[in-house]
């Protein structure tokens, strides 16, 4: 199967690989997918007092498209407010990376990962 | 661009140059050997028939059969179809029950599924964790109306060798016909259809350095096995498979089988040495699992799961190598290898598997490069893997609540 240049670029040089301390109050962690399905994404965001995502990182177990999708969204969410980040749609990710139909689920997973990270951060603030 | 190192000999093999040379001499008017083997009225036909019969003997000799028991087909898939449907339809009055195994090739499984729709009943045996069929379970599945058992000789994904001799004995004692798909074993493992009491055996040319699109089915004459033809026409191949014989393909298969008979012992030794070199080079990587029994296994196959690394991304990382993955993530289904699942491997391990298969033209340098690449790329992908992090933190992944999608 041929991958697009953008997928190859993110796969060869993934951006923002890493971990934040998930127990810190300014960190939101989203982990989605399942090993049984062949994809697990963990996306983390660091949010400042103004509610803006200052930093993001990820680790992904999955195919090249899954790795590229998560790498891309870590770039996209940086500098965005939580609301703006929550509006990122999987179709935008799929379009940017030129994902073929069988890989659309990778972009869906990346969207879910952002939402899960935001939810995690918000629930921490309430607690 | 430099071509990748080919380590996918179980998918197909290149045609041996000696085979290609022989094959090519049966095509043009200059060579004069283009005749139709069914033409009985002139030299061209007689020459073609002679070549076909010589090839038939070469194929028969590799498996201890009589040349009259060899039926030419287009490949092992057609052979499996002809054997299973042919027997089922011919013996339907005697019984409508067939036994096979969950790790069979799709050519067998899908044919059986088709027969189920036609009113046959099929038992799909679970293999043991090592990939082998348990004889007790096979015997327990046998019924008075069982007409056929179809168990492959060597598995295409994990390379394990079934005890076909014991299965053959059991089937014969119960007067059940025994079919075996030997696409992956011919030329790699000694076969003797008499000693193994095999009634029908599927063979392929392109897995042993012959041309693609060519195969054969061994059909036992004593005691005689009857088949309902699946391809009707001019009554070629004693009515079992009509269609003009593809002389050049047949000659190629014959030559490939002749070479296999002569060179199998020496080649197996060399290939096993390469496989062991590879295994030695990979075994110090953490969390590496071999799929399938290591003793009852063909020498050229190494199916390995690199835990916490997904198979497709590993293949992408190993683009310098031509290998295949047990993960079928490229299909919409996201299903991992059904063979590995049938062995009871976890989904993670099934998704993380790579099949390396070594062959006639593999060199030590190829193996060393492959080992080096695996080390590099696996550590890179594990750096990226949240599962690897969790494993390192001592979290048991089976206890995690995953959000399946």
φ, ψ for residue A122, nearest 5 deg: -65, -40
| A61/B402 touch (CB, cutoff 8 Å), yes or no | no
Cα–chain-centroid distance for residue A18? 12
Task: Write out pLDDT tens, residues B153-180.
Answer: 999 999 999 999 999 999 999 999 999 9
B353–chain A Cβ distance below 8 A for any pair: no
| A14/B316 touch (CB, cutoff 8 Å), yes or no | no
Cα–chain-centroid distance for residue B378? 28
Split at pLDDT 50, 70, 90, the class of B332 is very low
| Burial bucket for residue B214 (CB in 10 Å: 0-12, 13-18, 19+) | buried
Residue with tokens 């060579």: B31
Determine the pLDDT at residue B397. 85
Split at pLDDT 50, 70, 90, the class of B325 is confident
Q: In this complex, which of B316, B347, B389 lies closest to A36 when CB atoms are compared?
A: B347
Q: For a pLDDT cut of 90, what percent of chain A falls above it?
A: 88
B333 pLDDT above the threshold of 60: no
Cα–chain-centroid distance for residue B56? 21
Split at pLDDT 50, 70, 90, the class of B210 is very high
Determine the pLDDT at residue B404. 61
| A17/B385 touch (CB, cutoff 8 Å), yes or no | no
Determine the pLDDT at residue A80. 97
Residue B378 with chain A: CB contacts under 8 Å: none
Rounded to the nearest 10 degrees, the angle between the axes of helix A64-77 and helix A90-97 is 120
Residue predicted with more confidence, B163 or B400: B163
Split at pLDDT 50, 70, 90, the class of B329 is very low
Q: In this complex, which of B308, B334, B385 lies closest to A38 when CB atoms are compared?
A: B334
Determine the pLDDT at residue A35. 86
Residues 284-323 of B with CB under 8 A from A: 308-313, 316
| A34/B309 touch (CB, cutoff 8 Å), yes or no | no
Token pair, residue B132, equals: 């082998």
B306 pLDDT above the threshold of 60: yes
* ipTM of the shown complex: 0.93
Split at pLDDT 50, 70, 90, the class of B403 is confident
| Burial bucket for residue A125 (CB in 10 Å: 0-12, 13-18, 19+) | exposed
Residue to test with chain A: of B311, B350, B403, most A Cβ within 10 A: B403
Active-site annotation holds for A57: no
Cα–chain-centroid distance for residue B98? 20
Residue B313 with chain A: CB contacts under 8 Å: 11, 62-64, 66-67
Determine the pLDDT at residue B279. 96
Task: Write out pLDDT tens, residues A57-71.
Answer: 999 999 999 999 999
B347–chain A Cβ distance below 8 A for any pair: yes
- Rounded to whole angstroms, how far apart are CA atoms B351 and B340? 9
A118 pLDDT above the threshold of 60: yes
Determine the pLDDT at residue B132. 96
Q: B246 near B48, Cβ under 8 Å?
A: no
What average pLDDT does range B95-107 have in this prediction?
97
Determine the pLDDT at residue B338. 87
Task: Write out pLDDT tens, residues B271-298.
Answer: 999 999 999 999 999 999 999 999 999 9
Which residue in B has a C-alpha nearest to residue A62's C-alpha? B310
| B402/A105 touch (CB, cutoff 8 Å), yes or no | no
The residue annotated as part of the active site, out of A12, A18, A21, A37, is: A37
Residues 37-76 of A with CB under 8 A from B: 37-42, 59-64, 66-67
What average pLDDT does range A82-97 have in this prediction?
96
Size of interface A-B (CB pairs under 8 A): 90
Task: Write out pLDDT tens, residues B106-121.
Answer: 999 999 999 999 999 9
- Rounded to whole angstroms, how far apart are CA atoms B57 and B195? 19
B390–chain A Cβ distance below 8 A for any pair: no
Residue with tokens 């972009």: A107
Q: In this complex, which of A1, A59, A66 lies closest to B389 when CB atoms are compared?
A: A59
φ, ψ for residue A41, nearest 5 deg: -115, 135
Active-site annotation holds for B329: yes
Mean pLDDT of chain A, nearest integer: 94
Mean pLDDT of chain B, nearest integer: 94
Question: C-alpha angle B106/B251/B196, rounded to 5°?
Answer: 50
Q: Is B29 helix (H, G, I), strand (E, B) or coil?
A: coil
A28–chain B Cβ distance below 8 A for any pair: no
A32 pLDDT above the threshold of 50: yes
Split at pLDDT 50, 70, 90, the class of A6 is very high
A113–chain B Cβ distance below 8 A for any pair: no
- Rounded to whole angstroms, how far apart are CA atoms A114 and A96? 17
* Half-sphere CA count of B202, side-chain side, radius 13 A: 28
Residue A109 with chain B: CB contacts under 8 Å: 405
Task: Write out pLDDT tens, residues B225-255.
Answer: 999 999 999 999 999 999 999 999 999 999 9
Q: B25 near B223, Cβ under 8 Å?
A: no
| B312/A38 touch (CB, cutoff 8 Å), yes or no | yes
Determine the pLDDT at residue A30. 96
Task: Write out pLDDT tens, residues B336-377.
Answer: 788 998 999 888 888 888 999 999 999 999 999 999 999 999
Residue predicted with more confidence, A2 or A31: A31
């Amino acid at each position: 199967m041929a991958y697009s240049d953008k997928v190859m670029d993110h796969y060869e040089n993934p951006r923002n690989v890493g971990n934040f301390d998930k127990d810190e109050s300014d960190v939101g962690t989203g982990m989605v997918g399942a090993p049984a399905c062949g994809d697990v994404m963990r996306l983390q965001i660091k949010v400042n007092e103004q509610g803006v995502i200052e930093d993001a990182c990820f680790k992904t177990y999955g195919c090249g498209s899954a790795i590229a999708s998560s790498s891309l969204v870590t770039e996209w969410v940086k500098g965005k407010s939580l609301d703006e980040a929550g509006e990122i749609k999987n179709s935008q990710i799929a379009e940017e990376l030129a994902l073929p139909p069988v890989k659309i689920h990778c972009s869906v997973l990346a969207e879910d990962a952002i939402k899960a990270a935001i939810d995690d951060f918000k629930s921490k603030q309430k607690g | 661009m430099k071509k990748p190192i080919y380590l996918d000999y179980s998918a197909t093999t290149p045609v041996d140059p000696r085979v290609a040379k022989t094959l090519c001499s049966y095509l043009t008017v200059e060579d004069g050997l283009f005749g139709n083997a069914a033409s009985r009225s002139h030299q061209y036909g007689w020459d073609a028939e002679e070549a076909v019969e010589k090839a038939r003997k070469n194929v028969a000799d590799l498996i201890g059969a009589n040349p009259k028991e060899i039926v030419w087909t287009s490949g092992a898939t057609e052979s499996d179809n002809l054997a299973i449907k042919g027997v089922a339809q011919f013996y339907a009055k005697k019984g409508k029950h067939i036994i096979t195994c969950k790790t069979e090739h799709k050519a067998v499984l899908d044919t059986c599924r088709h027969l189920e729709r036609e009113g046959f009943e099929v038992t799909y045996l679970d293999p043991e964790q090592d990939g082998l069929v348990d004889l007790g379970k096979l015997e327990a599945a046998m019924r008075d109306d069982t007409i056929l058992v179809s168990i492959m000789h060597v598995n295409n994904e994990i390379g394990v060798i079934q005890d076909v001799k014991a299965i053959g004995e059991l089937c014969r004692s119960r007067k059940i016909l025994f079919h075996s798909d030997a696409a992956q074993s011919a030329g790699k493992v000694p076969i003797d259809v008499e000693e193994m009491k095999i009634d029908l055996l599927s063979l392929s040319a392109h897995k042993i350095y012959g041309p693609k699109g060519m195969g054969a089915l061994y059909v036992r004459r004593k005691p005689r096995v009857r088949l309902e033809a699946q391809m009707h026409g001019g009554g070629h191949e004693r009515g079992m498979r009509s269609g003009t014989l593809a002389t050049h393909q047949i000659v190629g298969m014959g030559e490939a089988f002749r070479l296999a008979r002569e060179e199998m012992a020496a080649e197996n030794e060399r290939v096993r040495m390469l496989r062991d070199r590879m295994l030695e080079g990979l075994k110090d990587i953490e969390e590496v699992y071999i799929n399938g029994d290591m003793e009852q296994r063909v020498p050229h196959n190494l199916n390995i799961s690199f835990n916490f690394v997904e198979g497709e991304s590993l293949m992408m990382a190993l683009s310098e190598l031509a290998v295949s993955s047990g993960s079928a993530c490229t299909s919409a289904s996201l299903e991992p290898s059904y063979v590995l699942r049938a062995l009871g491997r976890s989904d993670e391990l099934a998704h993380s598997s790579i099949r390396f298969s070594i062959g006639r033209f593999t060199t030590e340098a190829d193996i060393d490069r492959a080992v080096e690449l695996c080390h590099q790329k696996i550590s890179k992908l594990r750096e990226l893997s949240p599962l690897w992090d969790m494993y390192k933190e001592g979290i048991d992944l089976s206890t995690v609540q995953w959000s399946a999608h």
